[in-house]
Amino acid sequence: MRILMLNPNTTVPMTEQMVATARGFANPGTEIVGMNGHRGVPFVASRAEAAIAAAVILERLAELAEPFDAAVIAAFGDPGLGAAREMVDFPVVGLAEASMHAACMLGRRFSIVTFNHSLGPWYRECVEMHGMLDRLASIRVARGGVASINSIKDDKEAELFALATAAIEEDGADVLLFGGGPLAGLAGKLRDQIDVPVVEGVAAAVLQAEMLARLKTRRPVKGTYRKPPGKSSTGLTPALAALLASGPAS
Amino acid sequence: MRILMLNPNTTVPMTEQMVATARGFANPGTEIVGMNGHRGVPFVASRAEAAIAAAVILERLAELAEPFDAAVIAAFGDPGLGAAREMVDFPVVGLAEASMHAACMLGRRFSIVTFNHSLGPWYRECVEMHGMLDRLASIRVARGGVASINSIKDDKEAELFALATAAIEEDGADVLLFGGGPLAGLAGKLRDQIDVPVVEGVAAAVLQAEMLARLKTRRPVKGTYRKPPGKSSTGLTPALAALLASGPAS
Amino acid sequence: MRILMLNPNTTVPMTEQMVATARGFANPGTEIVGMNGHRGVPFVASRAEAAIAAAVILERLAELAEPFDAAVIAAFGDPGLGAAREMVDFPVVGLAEASMHAACMLGRRFSIVTFNHSLGPWYRECVEMHGMLDRLASIRVARGGVASINSIKDDKEAELFALATAAIEEDGADVLLFGGGPLAGLAGKLRDQIDVPVVEGVAAAVLQAEMLARLKTRRPVKGTYRKPPGKSSTGLTPALAALLASGPAS
Amino acid sequence: MRILMLNPNTTVPMTEQMVATARGFANPGTEIVGMNGHRGVPFVASRAEAAIAAAVILERLAELAEPFDAAVIAAFGDPGLGAAREMVDFPVVGLAEASMHAACMLGRRFSIVTFNHSLGPWYRECVEMHGMLDRLASIRVARGGVASINSIKDDKEAELFALATAAIEEDGADVLLFGGGPLAGLAGKLRDQIDVPVVEGVAAAVLQAEMLARLKTRRPVKGTYRKPPGKSSTGLTPALAALLASGPAS
Amino acid sequence: MRILMLNPNTTVPMTEQMVATARGFANPGTEIVGMNGHRGVPFVASRAEAAIAAAVILERLAELAEPFDAAVIAAFGDPGLGAAREMVDFPVVGLAEASMHAACMLGRRFSIVTFNHSLGPWYRECVEMHGMLDRLASIRVARGGVASINSIKDDKEAELFALATAAIEEDGADVLLFGGGPLAGLAGKLRDQIDVPVVEGVAAAVLQAEMLARLKTRRPVKGTYRKPPGKSSTGLTPALAALLASGPAS
Amino acid sequence: MRILMLNPNTTVPMTEQMVATARGFANPGTEIVGMNGHRGVPFVASRAEAAIAAAVILERLAELAEPFDAAVIAAFGDPGLGAAREMVDFPVVGLAEASMHAACMLGRRFSIVTFNHSLGPWYRECVEMHGMLDRLASIRVARGGVASINSIKDDKEAELFALATAAIEEDGADVLLFGGGPLAGLAGKLRDQIDVPVVEGVAAAVLQAEMLARLKTRRPVKGTYRKPPGKSSTGLTPALAALLASGPAS
């Protein structure tokens, strides 16, 4: 099985870290193909950056030479998730979405711990989008800025651990999620020191993508994610224009 | 007061129709400036198209030579609304959002009547995004395809009227919204034949934008819509790259 | 345009303060007519007082010599709002309702800061009535009693400012509302010191009333706010009895 | 035990019918004292009429020569319920509220069947006020007008029975409520022909009032229903003015 | 009237305490019959123990020689409540459910104070099951272990009182519930020292059971709690097997 | 990897059908071990039967000679799910839960189609328990009785297909679930004739169980599903008594 891990960020080491982490959890025989945004920002951390990321995701999906069995949107706020679902013939899952659905089967309420202040409200909106607000114990965010997106996981480890503990003790979290692609791998490192299950997001995402691929469901021709009718456009990449123009298979 | 009516669709007559309709409702002295997507699709009717529209909106906002007093995202699903709010220094409202908030002050529950099947679930997601699901009586959608986006309002008038009546009689709608920019002007035409208030969406949007401008609230430096820190990027339009790089005013 | 600002409280200086504040925000050419409760209490701060206020509002509306373009119920808990909507032919908005709908277009979650302990739970019930609980970050209330309703705004300014700051820092408020007619004008005074937008309630209410009037919607003859059938009564003021007896226009 | 059944309507036979029905269900030794609105309308069926009723209820409660063990607001939309709770020293329950809480212990979802079109949306608002929307299967309303409020129960019996059946078969109702004081007694008459439990509203109200009285809870001095501070007023009945002025017991 | 108080725990003194407490509140002439789990654990405090308790409840109900007028599931998480409702011909209420419905008529939001850490999340799930999450101010739990289930009420009285006070002052509780059968009687002891109404759970349960019995509703033959069709089984107690096999009365 | 598929029903062919179906979807190398209720009913279809099933599940889990990597509660209403989670050291998922979480990643709203009237409300309660009510489009139930649980899938195929179509066309379902173990395999048979994705429940359950096992989360020592303290008991099976007595690993 081939899974596309599509990180709309332009930071290649982050994608490599995510792919490496995911490979440690995926089923044998699953090939994970990392792909970065070819344009955009190093790390999406706002709605504006997510809007650009969503367009980037569509451009990248339009350029695929051959289909995958499933794809992961490898950014925690799930930019472009619904858009991607409309346009491709294989299942697509978001990193946040996949983590939260896994968390719901491990506890009643989860907390999200992340490293950057602007991520808090955007992640909350993502929780709302997936109808998970009643399952959210809290979102806790580390203070201060981000010196390097590639080392943030190590730079803030102690603070993130403290926030995880506070989420359990004070907010009643039954499950912990570390939110944000740059924290890939942290769950495995801290799992034995944290008193509740910690879901490694990229692992959850790849495994949920595998699950959906194995369910062998058909491409919808009705309902919310069916492919929209073909449409002309101007000023888009040729591949994306062609994808939009293609319409549903007849 | 100058209000930007930013229609991410590329169809210029649709924007002209919306601007003309809005001018019939706006306060004296308000200047409404229409602007179209410089690239994209003629009419956004899916999440994929909305994702492209959101990026287009950011590109257009980045190119503004001078600020407006407020802006309207003139597409019913409110693409790019949160992203726009983060990036500009004046208030921004969405067409759907503005219509729904107005409707809530005219009745307990509203119905949305629209003309294209793929719009139904996307509009529902928009209602959810704004936390309005408990205020929604129903979404009703006309059957069949769209021959011409510019004449759809006339082509389907009888069916849209019948759907409005059914929403009142069967779904308990207290207020009616005609959803979708191409229906601008229909509310005024049918208002006397429909037994409950009908909100003209573009009118609501411009008037809500005026209201927010008149409230003279400050640009947030905390909270969900504060401007994110400046960030480098690659492959974006120069203006958008500059806007993302600018960060909050110090 | 003529807007009625109907304050069910009997304190005339409070109404004058609200009208003066509102005039600073309203559109040119809008005339704001203040009116007080002719009986009742100096400041409504409980459900019992609000029940009396609702009856007072109906009595005052019944006595109007000529219609307005729209009316504002100028008390933060919106007493008698639905009742007024049923009985008059022009749009009516509540002070709390108008503020909250404006706040929803400026942030995801708002906090209400107010000055009197008994207002807290009543305002929360008002937030619930308008279906806004998911948009509420917190309600924060100053300690201690109220020496003078006319000077409360100045007497407690420092404490109210501190509560606003706490709402932003600890509760995640994106927008601030100062709840209660006696705080009219405070938003303008503190806006530059508070890190998120502050909605001036009476301004929002008058501007929303203007908006609804400009939408030129028809009087509903179906749905929740249509005028009830004419009904006989005993013991009411002659004007209110006549209004109840009148029934819908045929 | 003495229970006040306070019907804010002015129709004395309706109160007599409700009291008689309730007596058939109350515990031995419970005395039920009926009381009507001394002013107002024959039958409250809108928010405006309910606002008047709420004031009437306060006036009547203020005139009580001696306390009761508990009181019932004997109108289905529960006008003045919170206001009454603030002002008197004994428990108060609403007719709708009591019925719905009883229904929740007999099934998962209930339907309300009533006789007058304008009652539907107002009752729905009452269901929302009590946080019961997720327990509501439907509200079904008989067509046509009301010839006589005293004979409505008999005049529309066949239609109300048909609506009850439809609520069970089509809406999934597990429990039935006949909404509105004039339908007192109908539950007993039809109970054996309806396939799910039917809650007799006035019986539920009196029994819940008895229950609350027997719980011997104290008058709150904190929280939402504590008595507000004493307040001066103008233009109210002397008894109500005195009650408002009295403030909490020290 | 005869009410069964069915405590699925095996601790006989706890049941005696509950019955004695309930008798102090019940109507004259009501006979309360206590019954314990014939197998199971001394005090149910987890979902696993509740699952066993639910089966025990069915076994005990199947063995009843004659019907009661109503029954109480006398364990705060309401184990087996829906199951019991399906199988017997008289009303059944849960201890938690009855307390919460009573609390909703005494305030807007209630807090539950209990003595054992594992009870917190299970009680929260019970609140969710009854659709009461919006009415819940907080659940507060005493620290430390349980030395003796029979003396826990006295051993932790000071801490429970402190938690009740904190729930009022910090969480905005309008009503207090002491959760858990072993706390029967505590409400009466502390009521005068706590600033809001305190609902004695076993009293609420017995009184609600009486109320339902007095409503004389019929056994449902449709809807969620109708008796399921007769079914064969293996390995159950003879009485329970017979009850399952019996099916609805024809 | 070894997955326990624990069907609390006593019908062995049903379990065989479920295991066979699941094997067609599981990852290579996954061993699926079917296990039936050793006592109970042939097919759980009510809350009472589910309560018995929950106890049976605990008894079976207590008897396991060696741990599994994960377990599936193979009955659609998820009886005993939380109880099982507390007591065993490996992840446990419910058939309904797993199906619904998968469905949420394939569409916005799902419908459940099932074959027996009493299943409808119980399944709805299960949807509520998992906080999925906003994602539920409808539950549709075939008419008539069940001649044979083993052939029900074939006997009612045409009707179930018609209900699936109606759920898509009339209720807006984006995804379809066939609810109930006896329908295992039906999704695969009908998938090409149904216009939206159909989730094969047992496949989703086994794949979600695999996913949770691969996430390698730790056993919680805090939060809602931590193992409760050891407790004495009477009258339980020796293995279950020992499990309850064991308490958390120190």
Q: Which residue among B48, B54, B125 sits closest to A51, beta carbon to beta carbon? A: B54
In the three-class reduction of DSSP (H, G, I as helix; E, B as strand; rest coil), residue D36 is classed as strand
In E111-230, alpha helices (H): 119-129, 152-155, 157-171, 186-190, 201-215
Average pLDDT score, chain F: 96
Q: What is the pLDDT of residues E114-163, one digit of tens each?
A: 998 788 999 999 999 999 999 999 999 998 877 888 899 999 999 999 99
Question: Mean pLDDT over residues C7-34, rounded?
Answer: 97
Short-list D36, D100, D93, CA closest to D69: D93
Residue of C90, C196, C226, C227 to mutate for B, most B C-beta atoms under 10 A: C196
Cα distances (Å, whole numbers) of residue C219 to B188, B194, C224: 14, 10, 12
- Greatest alpha-carbon pair distance for chain D in Å reads 55
CA of residue F102 relative to chain centroid, distance: 13
C114 within 8 A of C123, measured Cβ to Cβ? yes
In this structure, the dihedral spanned by the alpha carbons of residues A192, A193, A194 and A195, taken in order and rounded to 10 degrees, is 80
- Residues 6 or more apart whose CB falls under 8 angstroms from that of E113 comprise E139, E140, E141, E142, E160, E163, E164, E167, E176, E177, E178, E179
Short-list A104, A30, A26, A112, CA closest to A76: A112
% chain C with pLDDT above 70 = 100
ipTM of the complex model: 0.97
Interface of D with C in 188-217 (CB under 8 A): none
How far apart (Å, rounded) are the C-alpha atoms in residues D2 and D67? 9
Confidence category of residue A146, pLDDT binned at 50, 70, 90: confident
Q: What is the pLDDT of residue C103?
A: 98
CA distance to partner chain C, nearest, from residue E103 (Å)? 16
C129 within 8 A of C163, measured Cβ to Cβ? no
DSSP H or E run through A36:
strand A31-36
Assess whether chains B and F touch, using the rule of 3 or more C-beta pairs within 8 angstroms: yes
How many CB contacts within 8 angstroms connect chain C with chain D?
Answer: 125
Cβ neighbours of C121 in E, within 8 Å: 108, 172, 174
Q: How many CA atoms lie within 13 A of A5 on its CB side?
A: 33
**pLDDT at residue A250 is higher than 80:** no
Cα distances (Å, whole numbers) of residue B188 to A5, B111, C98: 49, 17, 24
Choice among A140-149, C194-203, D28-37, D238-247 with the minimum mean pLDDT: A140-149
Angle at C125 (CA atoms; ends C121, C129), nearest 5 degrees: 170
Q: Which residue among B42, B52, B86 sits closest to A236, beta carbon to beta carbon? A: B52
**pLDDT at residue C250 is higher than 80:** no
How many CB contacts within 8 angstroms connect chain E with chain F?
Answer: 124
Work out the number of other CB atoms within 10 angstroms of the CB of residue D163. 24
Query: Following DSSP, what letter does each residue of C162-180 receive, concatenated?
Result: HHHHHHHHHH--SEEEE-S
Q: Which two tokens stand for residue F19?
A: 């295991």
CA distance to partner chain B, nearest, from residue A62 (Å)? 12
Work out the number of other CB atoms within 10 angstroms of the CB of residue F134. 13
Q: What is the pLDDT of residues D88-113, one digit of tens each?
A: 999 999 999 999 999 999 999 999 99
Inform me whether the C-beta atom of residue F237 falls under 8 Å from chain E C-beta atoms: no
How far apart (Å, rounded) are the C-alpha atoms in residues F248 and F246? 7
**What is the per-residue burial (b if ≥16 Cβ within 10 Å, else e) of A8-17?**
bbbbeebbeb
F89 within 8 A of F111, measured Cβ to Cβ? no
CA E44, E50, E51, E54 dihedral sign is positive
Pairing of strands E70-73, E92-94: parallel
Cα distances (Å, whole numbers) of residue C10 to A178, C7, D117, D157, D232: 55, 8, 36, 48, 11
Contact E83 F47 (CB under 8 A): yes
Q: What is the pLDDT of residues A193-223, one digit of tens each?
A: 999 999 999 999 999 999 999 999 999 999 9
How far apart (Å, rounded) are the C-alpha atoms in residues F66 and F68? 7
**What is the per-residue burial (b if ≥16 Cβ within 10 Å, else e) of F203-242?**
bbbbbbbbbbbbbebebbebbbbbbbbebebeebbeebbe
Inform me whether the C-beta atom of residue B143 falls under 8 Å from chain F C-beta atoms: no
**pLDDT at residue D163 is higher than 80:** yes
How far apart (Å, rounded) are the C-alpha atoms in residues D202 and D153? 15
Inform me whether the C-beta atom of residue A120 falls under 8 Å from chain F C-beta atoms: no
Q: What is the pLDDT of residue A48?
A: 97
Please tell me which residue of chain D has the smallest CA distance to F125. D108
Contact F125 D108 (CB under 8 A): yes
Inform me whether the C-beta atom of residue B120 falls under 8 Å from chain F C-beta atoms: yes
Please tell me which residue of chain D has the smallest CA distance to F134. D134
Inform me whether the C-beta atom of residue C108 falls under 8 Å from chain D C-beta atoms: no
CA distance to partner chain A, nearest, from residue E128 (Å)? 10
**pLDDT at residue D147 is higher than 90:** no
Range B87-91, long-range pairs (CB < 8 A, 24+ positions): B87/A48, B87/B58, B87/B61, B87/B62, B87/B227, B87/B243, B87/B244, B88/B61, B88/B64, B89/B219, B90/B213, B91/B209, B91/B212, B91/B213, B91/B215, B91/B217, B91/C105, B91/C106
D171 within 8 A of D138, measured Cβ to Cβ? yes
How many CB contacts within 8 angstroms connect chain A with chain F?
Answer: 165
Q: Which two tokens stand for residue E47?
A: 């979902």
Angle at E37 (CA atoms; ends E32, E41), nearest 5 degrees: 135
What are the residue ranges in chain B where pLDDT is below 70?
A: 250
Report the length, in residues, of chain F: 250
Q: What is the pLDDT of residues C98-116, one digit of tens each?
A: 999 999 999 999 999 999 8
Q: Which residue among B29, B134, B207 sits closest to C211, beta carbon to beta carbon? A: B207
Inform me whether the C-beta atom of residue A80 falls under 8 Å from chain B C-beta atoms: yes
Contact C174 A125 (CB under 8 A): no
Assess whether chains B and C touch, using the rule of 3 or more C-beta pairs within 8 angstroms: yes
How far apart (Å, rounded) are the C-alpha atoms in residues B153 and B184? 8
Contact A124 C108 (CB under 8 A): yes
How far apart (Å, rounded) are the C-alpha atoms in residues E235 and F42? 12
Q: What is the pLDDT of residue D3?
A: 98
Confidence category of residue F144, pLDDT binned at 50, 70, 90: confident
Inform me whether the C-beta atom of residue C51 falls under 8 Å from chain D C-beta atoms: yes
Query: Following DSSP, what letter does each residue of B195-235 receive, concatenated?
Result: SS-EE-HHHHHHHHHHHHHHHTPPPPSSSTTSPPPP---BS
Q: DSSP code of E200?
A: -
Q: Which two tokens stand for residue F216?
A: 């390698």
Work out the number of other CB atoms within 10 angstroms of the CB of residue C161. 16
Cα distances (Å, whole numbers) of residue A21 to A32, E19, E80, E86, F62: 11, 59, 44, 50, 35
Cβ neighbours of B124 in F, within 8 Å: 108
Confidence category of residue D150, pLDDT binned at 50, 70, 90: confident
Tokens 């009032």 found at: D209
Contact B108 D121 (CB under 8 A): yes
Inform me whether the C-beta atom of residue B161 falls under 8 Å from chain C C-beta atoms: no
Tokens 């998938």 found at: F191
Residue C139 main-chain phi, psi, to 5 deg: -120, 125
Neighbours of chain F (3+ CB pairs under 8 A): A, B, D, E
Pairing of strands C92-94, D31-36: unpaired
The residue ranges of DSSP E strands in chain B, in sequence order, are 2-7, 31-36, 70-73, 92-94, 110-114, 136-141, 175-178, 198-199
D110 within 8 A of D104, measured Cβ to Cβ? yes
Assess whether chains B and E touch, using the rule of 3 or more C-beta pairs within 8 angstroms: no
Cβ neighbours of E91 in D, within 8 Å: 105-106
Q: What is the pLDDT of residue C249?
A: 83
Confidence category of residue D148, pLDDT binned at 50, 70, 90: confident
Q: What is the pLDDT of residue F147?
A: 80
Assess whether chains D and A touch, using the rule of 3 or more C-beta pairs within 8 angstroms: no
Cβ neighbours of F45 in E, within 8 Å: 228, 231
Cβ neighbours of D195 in F, within 8 Å: none
CA distance to partner chain E, nearest, from residue A161 (Å)? 23
Residue of F38, F46, F92 to mutate for E, most E C-beta atoms under 10 A: F46
How far apart (Å, rounded) are the C-alpha atoms in residues D50 and D59? 14
How far apart (Å, rounded) are the C-alpha atoms in residues D59 and D84? 10
DSSP H or E run through A19:
helix A12-23
Cα distances (Å, whole numbers) of residue D7 to C104, D50, D115, D119, F80: 40, 11, 18, 17, 48
Contact C108 A120 (CB under 8 A): no
How far apart (Å, rounded) are the C-alpha atoms in residues F193 and A47? 40
Short-list A102, A87, A123, CA closest to A25: A102
Q: Which two tokens stand for residue F198?
A: 């159909």
Average pLDDT score, chain C: 96
A107 within 8 A of E124, measured Cβ to Cβ? no
Assess whether chains A and B touch, using the rule of 3 or more C-beta pairs within 8 angstroms: yes
F228 within 8 A of E49, measured Cβ to Cβ? yes
Residue E77 main-chain phi, psi, to 5 deg: -85, 0
DSSP H or E run through D188:
helix D186-190
Contact A120 C172 (CB under 8 A): yes
Please tell me which residue of chain A has the smallest CA distance to B46. A228
Q: Which two tokens stand for residue C105?
A: 């277009």
Contact B135 C134 (CB under 8 A): no
Please tell me which residue of chain D has the smallest CA distance to E25. D214
How far apart (Å, rounded) are the C-alpha atoms in residues E126 and E73? 13
Q: What is the pLDDT of residues F70-122, one digit of tens each?
A: 999 999 999 999 999 999 999 999 999 999 999 999 999 999 999 987 889 99
Q: Which residue among F224, F232, F235 sits closest to E42, beta carbon to beta carbon? A: F232
Angle at F70 (CA atoms; ends F67, F75), nearest 5 degrees: 115
What are the respective helix, strand and coil percentages of chain A, to the nearest 5? 45, 15, 40
